[in-house]
Structures are given as C-alpha cells and as structure tokens.
C-alpha cells in the first residue's frame, strides 16, 4: 500500500533503480509509492552510492524490534498539586478527547484542547504540549493552528521565557460561538447569492434558497444566544467582586434582577 512499510522485494527494486541511475521520483512511480518514502529510505540506509537492499531491510527490522521492546510511556496526566488521582484524571482526559472527536474535532486537535482545559494554568507552550502529549512539534503546530482558526484558543507572549503560550481563557466559548455564527452568516449570504444566480424557481436555486434561509436564521439565533450568555457571565463576575469571592452562581439571579430594575 502507498505509504506502508517497504517489503524486501520493494528494497530490491529500489537498489536496482539506483543502479540504473533512476531518480527517486521514477523509482517511486514504479513502486506506486510517494517520492518522499523512497528518498527517506535511501537517505537512512547509506545514500544513493551505498544503498543495499539486504542491509536496509535488516536495519529496518532491527529498528522495529527496538520500538516494540521499548514502548513509550503514556502521556502525562495533568494531576497538578491537588491530590488528584492520576488514573481518574487520565480517564477524564481520554473521555473528553473521545467526545470531541465524535463531534468532528481532529484527534490531535482534540488531545491538545483537552490538555489545555485540564491544565490548571489554562496555558502551555508548544514545547510543554510536546512533552505532555509525547508527539512531534509539527503535530502540535497543526493542532494549535486549527484551534486558533476556530477561536478556541489564543496565543500570548511570555516575556520571561521569550516563548508563546497557547491559552484558554474564560471567554473562549463566547468568542468561538460568535465566530461560528459569523461563518454561518457568510454561508447564508453565499447561498442566497447562489439562488439568485441559478434562479429561485429552479430546483438548485430553491435548494440554495432554503440553505440560506436556514443558516441565516441559525446565525441570528446564535448571536442572540451568545449575547444572553455574555450578560449572565458579566453578572457572575460582578457577583464575585461584590461578594469578595470568585462569583457564586447563586447570586447571578439577584444581580440580573437589579440590572433589569425588577
């Protein structure tokens, strides 16, 4: 299969192609493999002038045996210093990650989001995420890029260490929800324009008209919901300052009544 592990016969074909003076792209085309697979295979096994199929195969099998005999430890659980049960925390993280994946979030992105949420500081550097999740920096970079696009995290500069931290703050879901509402409104506008181009009386035009109507209604409703939530959040924070605590939700009703003048 393209991208799968090379067989001994594949390596013999690679050696034969190199002996013929073929380039990596041509060898890859003959084997039905990505060019990058062939270039990495040759580079890690002696280069174009020293590649031997039998030695390359033995070296690859040896690396595979070493990986199987020394499995990597599981990702570190964010137990913190509160006497938490590491196993319970790990189960929480796995369950939350699985739910995010079921809701359409890419798995690595879900792992990063879960890691940030279950960290008491609410923020980690890329290096800290790599260490905690035991993945490559490239995987973290792709995941945080996706999360930033969805407005689920923000980055801030840590002046002490001259590094950027990826942070989840109290307003994250409010911002993400509004960003989603804006995307729905944009889709609704595009659908309405498409209906005009195709003709609202045609089947395709009517389909786009319905799409635009639904997404427009949904976008407006999302904005109103976000605004109501913001009022509750502000009341919660006001209650926290007023009562000298973090904001007991039981006080939110009282503060809202005062605000409304009822």
Interval 75-87: pLDDT, tens: 555 555 677 788 8
Query: What is the model's pLDDT at position 247?
Result: 45
What's the confidence (pLDDT) of residue 156? 86
Residue 252 has a pLDDT of: 37
Q: What is the reported pLDDT for 192?
A: 94
Encoded tokens for 192: 């309405």
Task: Look at residue 242 in the predicted model and tell me its pLDDT.
Answer: 58
pLDDT at 262: 34
Query: Which parts of the chain register pLDDT below 50?
Result: 1-3, 72, 246-262
Structure tokens belonging to residue 100: 């995010």
* pLDDT given for residue 193 in this prediction: 95
pLDDT of amino acid 259: 34
Taking a C-beta distance cutoff of 8 angstroms, is the pair 149, 141 a contact? Answer: no
What is the spatial distance between Cα 40 and Cα 24, in angstroms, rounded to a whole number? 10
Q: What is the pTM of this model?
A: 0.55
Which phi and psi (to 5°) does residue 98 adopt? Answer: -60, -40
CA nearest neighbour of 154 among 141, 164, 162: 164
């Amino acid at each position: 299969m393209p991208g799968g592990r090379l067989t001994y016969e594949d390596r013999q074909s690679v050696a034969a192609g190199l002996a013929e003076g073929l380039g990596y792209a041509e060898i890859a085309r003959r084997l039905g493999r990505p060019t990058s697979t062939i270039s990495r295979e040759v580079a890690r096994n002696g280069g174009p002038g020293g590649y031997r199929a039998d030695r390359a195969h033995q070296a690859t099998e040896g690396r595979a045996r070493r990986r199987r005999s020394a499995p990597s430890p599981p990702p570190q659980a964010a137990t913190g210093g509160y006497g938490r049960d590491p196993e319970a925390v790990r189960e929480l993280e796995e369950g939350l990650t699985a739910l995010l994946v079921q809701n359409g979030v890419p798995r690595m992105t879900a792992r990063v989001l879960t890691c940030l949420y279950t960290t008491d500081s609410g923020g980690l550097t890329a290096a800290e995420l790599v260490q905690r999740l035991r993945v490559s920096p490239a995987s973290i970079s792709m995941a945080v890029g996706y999360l930033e696009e969805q407005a689920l995290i923000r980055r801030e500069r840590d002046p002490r260490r001259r590094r950027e931290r990826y942070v989840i703050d109290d307003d994250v879901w409010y911002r993400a929800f509004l960003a989603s509402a804006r995307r729905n409104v944009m889709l609704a506008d595009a659908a309405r324009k498409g209906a005009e181009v195709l003709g609202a009386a045609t089947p395709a035009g009517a389909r786009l008209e319905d799409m635009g109507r639904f997404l427009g209604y949904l976008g407006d409703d999302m904005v109103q919901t976000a605004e109501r939530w913001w009022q509750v959040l502000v009341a919660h924070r006001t209650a926290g300052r007023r009562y000298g605590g973090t904001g007991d939700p039981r006080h939110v009703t009282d503060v809202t009544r005062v605000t409304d003048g009822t």
